[in-house]
Amino acid sequence: MSTETEESQDHRPKVDPQILLAEQRYMIISDIMGDVHTKGPQRWSFTDMMDKVFLHRYLGLPVFLVIMWAMFNFTFEASAVFMSIIESVFAWIGFYTSQIPNPILASLITEGIIGGVGFILVFVPPIFFMYFSISILEDSGYLARAAFVMDGIMVRMGLHGRSFIPFLLGFGCSIPGIMAARTVEGEGNRLTTILVTPLMSCAARLPVYVLIAGAFFPTFKGTIVFLMYLLGIVFAMLMSLIFKKVVFKGESQPFIMELPRYQRPTFHGSVIHTWSRGVIFLKKAGTYLLAGAIIIWIISRIGPAGYGVPVSESFAGIMGSVFAPIFGPLGFDWIIVTALIFGLFAKEVVVESLGILYAVEGSVAIGALLAVSINPLSAFALMVFVLLYTPCIGVIGTIRKETGSWKWTGVSVAYQLVLAYLVALAIVLVGGLFI
């Protein structure tokens, strides 16, 4: 008899303690409200009416995708004029710095600093407008609904419901996203979240997307960039499913959250949130990216034969030429390969490197040279490669710190490189059959 009882207990459905605790809490609240509050005629609030659409079983996800698509199109349309102004200002400065009598100093300032960091600053407007849009969605209360809509899909793909928070932070920067995985329960769930969070498109990748989309797909650049962010989510879910089925076997848990009421965002509050996030990029441009521009300029002007050699014979050119045969099937030349290598330090450096290696100023000039080097299919493959391969050295260090293991750090770097290459190769091969 006791054996049957034990067997029946083993087959009882497992109850999440958090769900049980939440149910008991709301039961107590309901009892108290019944004693102190008399219900009047039921009225639908604005929040109830909006949630009928935003949280609808079938409409919730399409509405979320439309809102994200609209956000990216707004980002690029609103920032276009500001990007042109900044580009014109740096072109004007570059004209005068190129007249400096000392040719080495003139080259360093014009081609290195202005061509590198100055070109990066052209992409400040879309980054700030993207943060502004996200801030409005967050302050309005919709972002919490987006988490609710995505929760069911994420759980079915093997992710813990709380993984949405690291994913959301990963759109700004992968490092705080990875650190936020501490809130995810279960070692397997936490490691899975850490390993797939870098696949989210961080703000550092945005300049690369804007440059390539503007050069090759100007009519649909907002849609193309939206597709990159969407692909990041899709590949994160696919990889999490693989990790949970093969490596970290276990059940996923839903995300318990309380949805706030909708409210009207304030312009002042949105601007403050935008500045607090965007100023991080400006500080990065004034420190790490400035140092990186100088270093890249030096190694692209010095080779075994000394200073002043052609870029292809410099140390940067030699490094890119060594790895170029590997990327030949993708259609990438040695300049693009060199930029991708430098991009391991920070994704903004990919754009910075192209400006320095091509020795031209402005997105139009760089886009024109890229159009000569690769075709639109390889350009799209390049965007996907930048999306999927290791974000930066800082992310690698953060994964090592959060996992406490070089093994999982190595797994993260290796699988992202392999995934990026295979997906980019598939795009080129399959796309080549139709184009």
Assigned domain for 362 exists = yes
pLDDT in tens, 77-89: 888 888 888 888 8
pTM, to two decimals: 0.81
Is the confidence at residue 4, as pLDDT, over 70?
A: no
For the cut 80, the answer to whether the pLDDT of residue 56 exceeds it is: no
CA–CA separation, 258 and 274 (whole Å): 25
- Is 204 within 8 Å of 391 (Cβ atoms)? yes
Q: What is the pLDDT of residues 199-245, one digit of tens each?
A: 988 888 888 898 898 889 888 888 898 899 999 988 988 888 888 77
DSSP structure string for 176-215: HHHHGGGGS-SHHHHHHHHHHGGGS--GGGHHHHHHHHHH
Q: Where are the alpha helices (DSSP H) in 45-173?
A: 46-54, 60-97, 103-107, 119-121, 124-140, 142-156, 164-170
Tell me the CA end-to-end span of the chain in Å, nearest whole number: 71
Q: Which of 250, 176, 236 is nearest to 415 (CA)?
A: 236
Kindly state whether residue 407 falls inside one of the protein's structural domains: yes
What span, in angstroms and rounded, lies between the C-alpha atoms of 221 and 239?
Answer: 27
3-state class (DSSP) for residue 328? helix
Q: What six digits make up the tokens of 9?
A: 């207990």
Q: What radius of gyration, in Å, describes the C-alpha atoms of the chain? A: 25
Residue 232, C-beta contacts closer than 8 angstroms, at least 6 positions apart: 199, 200, 201, 387
Residue 10 lies in a domain: no
Cα-based distances in Å from 239 to 146, 188, 389: 21, 13, 13
Predicted confidence (pLDDT) per residue in 335-388, tens digit: 999 999 998 888 888 888 888 888 766 667 788 888 888 899 999 999 999 999
pLDDT recorded at residue 347: 86
Work out the average pLDDT over 388-411. 88
Q: Does a structural domain hold residue 358? A: yes
Does 55 map to a domain?
no
> 28-37, 55-64, 326-335: which has the highest mean pLDDT?
326-335
- Residue 7, in any domain of the structure: no
**Spatial separation of the C-alpha atoms in residues 265 and 253, rounded to whole Å:** 32
Average pLDDT over residues 116-121: 75
Q: Which amino acid is at 5?
A: T
pLDDT in tens, 143-181: 777 777 777 677 676 666 667 777 777 887 888 888 878
Tokens of 240: 């999490």
- Determine, yes or no, domain membership for 76: yes
Could you give the number of structural domains in the chain? 1
Q: Are the beta carbons of 423 and 388 closer than 8 angstroms?
A: yes
- Which pLDDT does position 18 carry in this prediction? 58
Residue 302's SS3 state is strand
Using pLDDT thresholds of 50, 70 and 90, give the confidence band for residue 302.
confident
**Domain for residue 382, yes or no?**
yes
Q: How far is CA 208 from the centre of its chain?
A: 11
d(Cα 394, Cα 347) in Å, to the nearest integer? 11
Q: What is residue 17's predicted lDDT score, i.e. its pLDDT? A: 62
Task: Say how many C-beta atoms besides its own lie within 10 A of residue 72's C-beta.
Answer: 25
What is the domain extent for residue 242? 60-251+270-434
Mean pLDDT of the 258-264 span: 77
Per-residue pLDDT, 336:
92
pLDDT of residue 6: 45
Supply angle C-alpha 365, 369, 372, rounded to 5: 145
